[in-house]
Amino acid sequence: MNFEFSDEQQLLREQARGFLTEYCPASVVRAVLDGDQDWDAALWQKVADMGWTATVIPEAYGGLGLSYYELAIIAEEMGRSAAPLPFSSSVYLASEAIQRFGTEAQKSAWLPRLASGECVATVAMAEGAGRLALGRLETCRSGSQLSGTKVPVADASIAEVAVVLARSEAGLEACLVPLQQAGISMEPVITLDTSRGHSVITFDGAQAEVLGHAALDPVDWESLLDGAAVLLAWEQLGLAETALTQARDYALQRFAFGRAIGSYQAIKHKLANMYVKNTLARSNAYYGVWALAEGSDELPLAAATARVAAIQASTYAAEENIQTHGGMGFTWEFDCHFYLRRAKLLSLAIGSEAMWQDRLVSALAAHSAAA
């Protein structure tokens, strides 16, 4: 039984935490949230210099060829600091899609530049309100031309290329679409977390190439999402841990009626609940990353479990951290709201809690039937 990260991996965590504590304090998040930028480009450069964008990209394509364990560790630390970066779009989703589905030429063209961080990529899936139905996409490719509207697309304004989920006569496809071209118009979309940019993209006969040689099996796309779900779960866990730490520190320091508010059972039990949810989320995130890293056929179950647990832990911790802070927590000036915004944003990305609960039970039923 060895259900723990290796010593080397723990060292990576310390290094990542130290790095982000230094270069991504709350003031960095605040600057992007308050300002006109969609990201902190300088921080991205530093993160790329650390090699984080290259973590799981094979060495043949300029990556470090490390495992998902390492990437999960970085994801947690990214979440802990609520870094205003397109890391999830570019690393967990777009790079993964190109690596999994791309032709040799596509991989050679894009992965080295994604690994080095000089290129940012994103994935465009959603087409407006409601649960995404892979079988009913309205964005269509015909020949080399793509038409349709994707909204919201995270990090599109800073991405050079997007992996766009679409349909053609051949069926479901992931298309590789450079975003600086005539057939594309893009407008910013304000979301609840302006420390991450979002856009609506209209494709009007945009030049697009199919990623890979053929249409996508929906199962393969879902498997990509499973991987992203695990990595997002680690990021959400990091957010949840920060929220719990903030709440605990404030509860120790804030006095009411002559004693620390953390000595009142209402606050104690609220924080104990956070701890319980965070612990369940962490243990399920271990399960998820184990399944992802080892290529286990339990991945669909493990990913959904990690995702649901992380959604529940991060939104609870972020919401109740504000309550623990009382009126101060409701001000713009305190940082509590960063974690609420990001926790909810990430919970809405790649399908929300109910969708993953549904997938969890499908995987569980398949698993029981197989056992």
Reduce the DSSP state of residue 64 to 3 states and report it: coil
Give the bridge partners for 187, in sequence order.
200
Is residue 161 a contact partner of residue 119, using CB atoms and an 8 Å limit?
Answer: yes
Candidates 27, 180, 265, 368; binder of a copy of itself (CB under 8 A) is 265
Between 19 and 264, whose beta carbon lies closer to a copy of itself?
Answer: 264
Candidates 5, 19, 23, 264; binder of a copy of itself (CB under 8 A) is 264
Position 269 contacts a copy of itself (CB under 8 A): yes
- Cα–Cα distance for residue pair 267/6, rounded to 1 Å: 35
Cβ-Cβ contacts under 8 Å for 281 (sequence gap 6 or more):
233, 236, 237, 240, 306, 309, 310, 312, 313, 314
Counting residues that bind another protein (by CB under 8 A) gives: 97
Reduce the DSSP state of residue 153 to 3 states and report it: strand
Residue 234 binding: pick among another protein, a copy of itself, none (C-beta 5-8 Å cut-off by kind): none
Position 266 contacts a copy of itself (CB under 8 A): yes
Sign of the four-CA dihedral 306, 277, 339, 116: negative
Residue that is written with structure tokens 């994707």 in the block: 150
Cβ-Cβ contacts under 8 Å for 69 (sequence gap 6 or more):
5, 6, 9, 289, 293
Position 276 contacts a copy of itself (CB under 8 A): no
Between 145 and 352, whose beta carbon lies closer to another protein?
Answer: 352
User: Tokens at residue 35, please?
Assistant: 């300002």
Candidates 15, 258, 295, 370; binder of another protein (CB under 8 A) is 258
Position 94 contacts another protein (CB under 8 A): no
Between 17 and 254, whose beta carbon lies closer to another protein?
Answer: 254
**Contacts to another protein from residues 148-207, by CB under 8 A:** 151-152, 189-193, 198, 200
Stretch that binds another protein, among 24-32, 208-216, 220-228, 339-347 (CB under 8 A): 339-347
Chain residues that interact with a copy of itself, rule: CB under 8 A: 264-266, 269
